[in-house]
Chains A and B, each alone.
Chain A
Amino acid sequence: MKNIELEKHANSIRKSIVTEVFYAQSGHPGGSLGAADIITSLYFEELDINDENLDSVDRDRFVLSKGHASPALYAAFAEKGWIEKEELKTFRHLGSRLQGHPSMRLLPGVDMSTGSLGQGISCAVGMALANKLDKNDHRIYTLCGDGECQEGQVWEAIMAAAHHKLDNLCIIIDNNNLQIDGKVEDVMSIYPLDEKMKAFNCHVIEIDGHDFDQIRAAFKEARETKGQPTVIIAKTVKGKGVSFMENQAGWHGVAPNEEQYHAAIKELEAC
């Protein structure tokens, strides 16, 4: 897909994210907006998921380990036509399939229920092990937050992935360097992240998580890497696309008011 088309989808996804969180008056806009380009690239280019195989496990799979970025996942589903855009307004409402954090039992296409940080990446390791046992070529992708890397379980999962030489597993770290309480290096530094991942026997690629050429090239390099899992450290801007939300930890889990909502949509429509 041409970058200009990916950009269009990403922009539409960003508008949906802001809409979801506004109608819910709850949710996580910052990390969702920051991950929008990676998720667009996954669903519109990299993953072999389509209308026919959505319900199957006989395809690539994606685990949103940073489950609080669910608005981005649901927005991508709407952009793919798997759910109606109108349904996005039910996000976080009673009875909705669009739970605050994704539930695989409620929404077809969600490959794992996530939300508790550190667990999704381990689930992805289990899926990659299953694919190895079944000797199929499907790939497993997971998106983790950088703050999430403070969870010990992330390192347990990375250790297991490298030990089992899971080259069918691609771990993307959404490195926006912000978490709820502030900058990652101020709260609890995870750095040097690249050296740590290399020391754990992973193939490490560092990219700009908003550059579709770099995302595409990283996925290709991951596919071609044999004998070890790939970790893509994607530098991103939390709140990307809505100027007043960009690089603000305060927009981690806060919904825009009506004025802010219209300002955000206006800015995104001008793109």
Chain B
Amino acid sequence: MASIATRIAYGDALKELLQEDENIVVLDADLAGSTKSAEAKKVDPARHFDMGIAEGNMMSVAAGLAASGKIAFASTFAMFATGRGFEQIRNSIGYPHLNVKVCASHAGISVGEDGASHQCIEDINLMRGIPGMTVVVPCDYNEAKQAVRAIAYHEGPCYVRLGRSGVEEVTPEGYQFELGKGVVLKEGTKVALVATGSMVQESLKACELLDFEPTVVNIHTIKPIDRELIVELANSHDLIVTCEEHSIIGGLGSAVAEVMAEAGCPCKLARVGVQDVFGESGKPKELFETYGLDPQSIANVVKNNL
């Protein structure tokens, strides 16, 4: 099975978008080769601005370009985009609701060897807290490419979370990405594994370790979240297990918990994710095992909570 990083899809989508629409501009902060925003340069170097290692400035410059009618894509690693650039995203981009698309790569602990300083596990939390911000976490190349194209023309600020490491293709052939709509990948009973990003693959693998068929759902849009689907899942299952390569605080698990609690769903919830700790250096696979994100850990959480 093909294994491609979602950031590759970002570069490929940008290339197409720049060819199709002269209104699109791209900014990066000295990581264009890594985020794949450099692909845009191949189409039109004049519309790719390398702003140097100055993420806060990059976000506000992107806002200025958007205020001039451009659709501005701004990229760097998730840690520096949403961490260093948080207040600029909030005040320069979010408050005036400008067309800036923050597409950040190297999110989560699968960054690997760089260690905790570069493993952003707070970005979904930070971005979904900004009023009017759309937050998308695609799971594979196919979905990421479609998501980037979709948010380009979705009015207002958007955040797209992309990964460094290769991930298997899991979206079915002919898959059509629809912003805000969760995707049921497997229909089962008792337990619904509700996953986002790279954890969709891990959840699918976890099914093979269980002696029953759980439901598996891909929630690619964290905000606005698919309330209807979550309530439906909660009303038809005994347990929902959220799976995310993010802190269990403020991410998908929190978003699902909010929906379930407000809807008065009687279903139990367990959250697979980074358990309020920093990561460390290591290979992505080792890190997933160490921090409880691998299929076996998901299967264990299911068994312990049923």
Binding site for B on A (CB under 8 A): 57, 63, 103-105, 111-113, 115-116, 118-120, 122-131, 133-134, 152-153, 156-157, 159-160, 163-164
Contact (Cβ within 8 A) A126 B87 = no
Contact of B96 (CB < 8 Å), options: A113, A152, A159: A113
Is B25 an interface residue when CB atoms closer than 8 A count as contact? yes
Q: Report whether A103 and B96 are in contact in the complex, using a CB–CB cutoff of 8 Å.
A: yes
Residues of A close to B96: CB separation below 8 A: 103-105, 112-113
* Chain A residue contacts of B64, Cβ below 8 A: 63, 112, 122-130
With known contacts A113-B95, A113-B96, A126–B54 Cβ distance under 8 A: no
User: What residue of chain B has the Cβ atom nearest to residue A153's Cβ?
Assistant: B56
**Given A123-B61, A159-B54, 16 further pairs, Cβ under 8 A:** A104-B96, A112-B92, A113-B91, A113-B92, A113-B95, A116-B91, A118-B56, A119-B87, A122-B63, A123-B64, A128-B64, A129-B64, A133-B47, A134-B68, A159-B52, A160-B57
Within 8 A of A (CB), among B29-78: 46-47, 49, 51-52, 54, 56-57, 59-70, 72
| Chain A contacts for B47, CB-based, 8 A | 133
Number of B interface residues in the complex (CB < 8 A):
29
Partner of B97, one of A57, A105, A157: A105
Interface contacts (Cβ under 8 Å), in number, total: 107
A155–B100 CA distance with the chains assembled, in angstroms: 22
Contacts of A128 in B (CB 8 A): 64
Judge whether B242 is part of the interface by a CB distance below 8 angstroms: no
Instruction: Check: B88 CB closer than 8 A to any chain A CB.
Output: yes
Interface-central residue, A103, A116, A131, A152, by most chain B CB under 10 Å: A116
Inside 8 A of A125's CB, which chain B residues have their CB? 57, 60-61, 64
Q: When the two chains form their complex, are residues B65 and A130 in contact, meaning their CB atoms are under 8 A apart?
A: yes
Chain A residues whose CB sits within 8 angstroms of the CB of B57 once the complex forms: 122, 125, 153, 156-157, 160
CB <8 Å contact, A119 and B91: yes
Q: Are A160 and B68 within 8 A (Cβ)?
A: no
Which chain B residues lie closer than 8 Å to A111 at the CB level? Answer: 67
Interface residues of B (CB under 8 A from A): 25, 46-47, 49, 51-52, 54, 56-57, 59-70, 72, 87-88, 91-92, 95-97
Residues of B within 8 A of A129 (CB): 49, 61, 64-65
Task: Say yes or no: A160 contacts B51, CB within 8 Å.
Answer: yes
Q: Is the CB of B68 within 8 A of A131?
A: yes
Tell me, in angstroms, the Cα distance from A152 to B63 when the chains sit together.
18
Q: Say yes or no: B91 contacts A115, CB within 8 Å.
A: yes
Q: Which residues of A contact B67 (CB under 8 A)?
A: 57, 104, 111-112, 123, 126-127
Q: How many angstroms between the C-alpha atoms of A57 and B59 in the bound complex?
A: 20
Leading 8 A-B pairs by shortest Cβ distance: A126-B64, A122-B60, A130-B68, A156-B57, A123-B64, A126-B61, A156-B54, A113-B96
Among A115, A130, A157, A163, contact of B60 (Cβ-Cβ < 8 Å): A157
CB neighbours of B66 from chain A (8 A): 126
Least CB separation from A106: chain B residue = B96
CA distance A98 to B46 in the complex (A): 38
Determine the distance from Cα of A126 to Cα of B65 in the docked complex, in whole angstroms. Answer: 5
Q: Report whether B65 and A160 are in contact in the complex, using a CB–CB cutoff of 8 Å.
A: no
When distances are taken between beta carbons in the complex, the residues of chain B under 8 Å from A124 are 64
